[in-house]
Structure 1
Amino acid sequence: MSDLSGSERRKLEKLLGMGSGYVLNFSDRTFGDFFDEYRVEIDNEQYKTGGTSKANRMRTFWTVANNHVLGRVIEGLIEYANEEQCFGDSNPSLVTNCQNIAKRLLSDQPVAELDALTAISDDYDFEIVANHVREAIDKNQPEAALDRLHTFVNKLVRITCERYNIEITVDKPLNSVFGEYVKKLREDGHLESAMTDRILRTSISVLEAFNDVRNNKSLAHDNPILNYEESLLIFNHVAASIRFIKKLEASIKTKSATALDKTKDTKNDDFIPF
């Protein structure tokens, strides 16, 4: 459900010319076609509870949709209207105000830690997979990218584990590799609390279950894909875990570099030049 305010609704209604029941220059067919691009069935009964006109269906959509999807639709409506020259002599400040409404709504990401889903090496394939994963969330299609998210996590975990000389083979499953990584973190004293250790060990079984989702509920194979809400939950859990791992690894690198510098300084202090 969006948090569109009454003031924002009035500005949008005015910009889109909704007073007479219409929306811009859309016919019923083109109205449906427009929303199809955003995976919204605007002709569905849930959008007709406030009335069947295009304007009423739009108002209901504003109430039902989440902020990110609504922001994308408003952004698309403004772009469409500019292309079709629908605004005519509309107040330019009104257009700007509605663009700002879209930006505010778009800032509410369905995946809170989306920025963590970036490649950690210059590997081209890694970059491509990471881009596809983020694009799926931008399009509000998490269920369509579960297989690529699995590939992304595989690449990230394996690259991270190489630094610890953890044996990696093609046949070794993701959860096994990650389990050895968590064990190494624990043995080297990089985890400060038993709770963090337990959360990471729980993630081992989560990644084992992710293998099943990838093989049986994603587009990796010809199977029915997982529903939207559960897919979004998986994305949020994975993204939060990756953000933590990246931060932890950065901290470990910093501590290692500091320790190395201190060792060099000690050796220089002990050097007697005669």
Structure 2
Amino acid sequence: VYFKIVGKFEGEEHVVDSTGIEAFEANETLQELVAAIRRDLDAGRPNAGLDRLHTYCMKRFASLVVKHGGEPCGENDALHARVGKYAKALKASRNLTEMSDRIIKSSISTFESMNEIRNNKSFAHDNESLVSMDEAKFIYDSVTALLRFIKTMDAQKFED
């Protein structure tokens, strides 16, 4: 415990910025999901919550697609397909720079890879091992960076 505290003061321990993970609609299940993700992050166990991060993203992108006028996502629509539908809606409604558009499009393949992590390296199934702590932090940082950007873009859309 002593070394963990010292590490925090010395900046060695990286804390995941979870501000992009929030209850975006009044829903008890969603609120509990967000709370579970935050508990894992607060406990310094991001690798334990990757399956719930995947579930959160499934819900978030399904909601965003509908909010932006798209057809509701089906139960069998994969995460990357939901992200792709949202990317199209965002491009149609916002004048993004080429770089932002490219980052969002490249995130589709990132979310496709998240399916493999959820299925084979998380508590979603009886897997032999989890993603390493450092890699789990990297995954969270990458996913939450996009979620924070989306939150900003979404707020601007409805403020205009």
Structure 1 segments unaligned to the other structure (5+ residues): 1-34, 36-57, 71-104, 256-274
Q: Residue 179 of structure 1: which of 55, 66, 84 is its match?
A: 84
* C-alpha separation in 2, matches of 1:234 and 1:186: 24
Which residue of the partner structure matches residue 23 of structure 2? Answer: 119
Task: Report how far residue 186 of structure 1 moved.
Answer: 1.3
Q: Residue 121 of structure 2: which of 210, 217, 227 is its match?
A: 217
Task: Report how far residue 213 of structure 1 moved.
Answer: 0.3
Amino acid at match of 2:90: L
CA RMSD of aligned residues (A): 2.0
Which residue of the partner structure matches residue 136 of structure 1? Answer: 40
Q: Residue 199 of structure 1: which of 103, 120, 139 is its match?
A: 103
Which residue of the partner structure matches residue 93 of structure 1? Answer: none
Q: In the alignment, is residue 149 of structure 1 matched against residue 90 of structure 2?
A: no
Q: In the alignment, is residue 67 of structure 1 matched against residue 21 of structure 2?
A: no
Q: Alignment identity in percent?
A: 30
Per-residue deviation, residues 46-103 of structure 1 (Å, max 9, x unmatched): xxxxxxxxxxxx5xx269x6318x9xxxxxxxxxxxxxxxxxxxxxxxxxxxxxxxxx
Which residue of the partner structure matches residue 229 of structure 1? Answer: 134
Q: State the SS of the aligned residue for 2:19.
A: helix
Task: Report how far residue 199 of structure 1 moved.
Answer: 0.3
Per-residue deviation, residues 192-251 of structure 1 (Å, max 9, x unmatched): 300000000011000000011000000001111111000000011111111110110000
Per-residue deviation, residues 166-192 of structure 1 (Å, max 9, x unmatched): 23101111111110111122123x033
Amino acid at match of 1:66: G
Per-residue deviation, residues 250-272 of structure 1 (Å, max 9, x unmatched): 000011xxxxxxxxxxxxxxxxx
Q: Which has the larger radius of gyration?
A: 1
TM-score scaled by structure 2? 0.90
Q: Is the 8 A contact 1:143 1:228 kept in 2?
A: yes
Task: Report how far residue 153 of structure 1 moved.
Answer: 1.0
* C-alpha separation in 1, matches of 2:145 and 2:30: 19
TM-score scaled by structure 1? 0.54
* C-alpha separation in 2, matches of 1:185 and 1:240: 16
* C-alpha separation in 2, matches of 1:240 and 1:247: 11
Task: Report how far residue 123 of structure 1 moved.
Answer: 0.8
Structure 2 segments unaligned to the other structure (5+ residues): none
Q: Is the 8 A contact 1:119 1:156 kept in 2?
A: no
Which residue of the partner structure matches residue 158 of structure 2? Answer: 253
* Matched residue count: 157
Task: Report how far residue 109 of structure 1 moved.
Answer: 5.9
Q: Is the 8 A contact 1:191 1:197 kept in 2?
A: no
Amino acid at match of 1:222: D
